[in-house]
Amino acid sequence: MKVCFISPRFGNTIFIFYYVYFLILLFYNYYKIWLKRGCEKVRILVTGGCGYIGSHTVVELIRNGYDVVIVDDFSNSKPVVLDRIKEITGKSVTFYEGDVCNKDILRKIFHENKIDAVIHFAGYKAVGESVEKPLMYFRNNIDSTLSLLEVMTEFSVKKLVFSSSATVYGNPRSLPIKEDSNLSVTNPYGRTKLYIEGILNDVYVSDNSWSIAILRYFNPVGADSTYLIGEEPNGIPNNLMPYIVKVATGELDHLNVFGNDYNTHDGTGARDYIHVTDLALGHIKALLYIDKQPVLDYFNLGRGECFTVLDMVSSFEKYNNVKIPYQIKDRRKGDIDSCYADVSYAKEKLDWEAYLGLEDMVTSSYKYAVNEKNRV
């Protein structure tokens, strides 16, 4: 019987062959994983994504290459917004209809989608209404945030951009307002935002693997450059610009100006107005910021200048060539004289600043309204 054996040289050759083959296979598999991850889009859950600011942010997210999931209950928005988002971007978004207070719907969303970060808009937002219905505001705004944070924790998603408000500054002691200015609210809506900021601070202190950006908005106005989405609240508007627009389009007879005895140049309240597109882009900058490292930080998003109610009326008339009749009424509870931001910290840390001016704000608002009226 012949005995076959492999020479040491040949055996080494086979070993080297299989070793190299194994390395090639290993690196190939790693390459496929890397390639897959590189091609995967970052997926953002946007609560209240059909609302005014939410829908504009969704559009800018898609324009910047993000994948978007929306949850909204249409309490202050309309289903047609989803069609408009698709018309603007050419892409459909994953949508869930539901209340963010409902943890079951949130669990379903996180189970069915790999969520990388959350932008939290969902909540009631009218100052005047909050004074009349404070319990409704506390229940909705705070409960929805607690439910969201609990489900995010369950699914180990710890990146959040929160929609706060300049109302947390109350009646400011000095202007412009910086992020470290005194916090003091004058209405229940602002108090819900301040409470939520405190909750987020406590969450981060308890677990500093979270990464949270709190954006304190001033007064968003305007519409997307396509004029397909804009501010169109259900019922009588609580904010100035949609109220002016409804007068301009003939839906309302006149504008009610609440108070003319404020400490401003014409006696009407003055605010820092920011174009909603600039504001939406601020959220993308915030997402990039919180993706770098665990952090909790606060940012003012505004233009750093203020205009009174009558300034806004005058500008609207000038740039849109339309008259806005108005009547002076008593002050509303909870309103303050003036409010405008110091935005230098957002510029430094987020590399963000507002570019669109007053003309863009008032003309885009009106063109959106006219466009909507012509569609009917």
Cα distance between residue 245 and residue 324, in whole Å:
9
Which two tokens mark 152? 């995010």
Phi-psi region of 48 (alpha: psi -120 to 50; beta: other; left: phi over 0): left
Cα distance between residue 330 and residue 260, in whole Å:
8
Q: Which residues contact 60 (CB under 8 A, 6 or more apart)?
A: 277, 280, 281, 283, 284
Radius of gyration for the alpha carbons in the chain, expressed in angstroms and rounded:
26
Burial of 260 (0-12, 13-18, 19+ CB in 10 A): middle
Cα distance between residue 219 and residue 341, in whole Å:
10
Burial of 308 (0-12, 13-18, 19+ CB in 10 A): buried
52 is catalytic: no
Q: In what order do the strands lie in the sheet with 338-339?
A: 307-308, 270-271, 338-339
> Which entry of 189, 227, 289, 366 is annotated as an active-site residue?
189
Residue 259 C-beta-side C-alpha neighbours within 13 Å: 17
Q: Which residues are catalytic?
A: 189
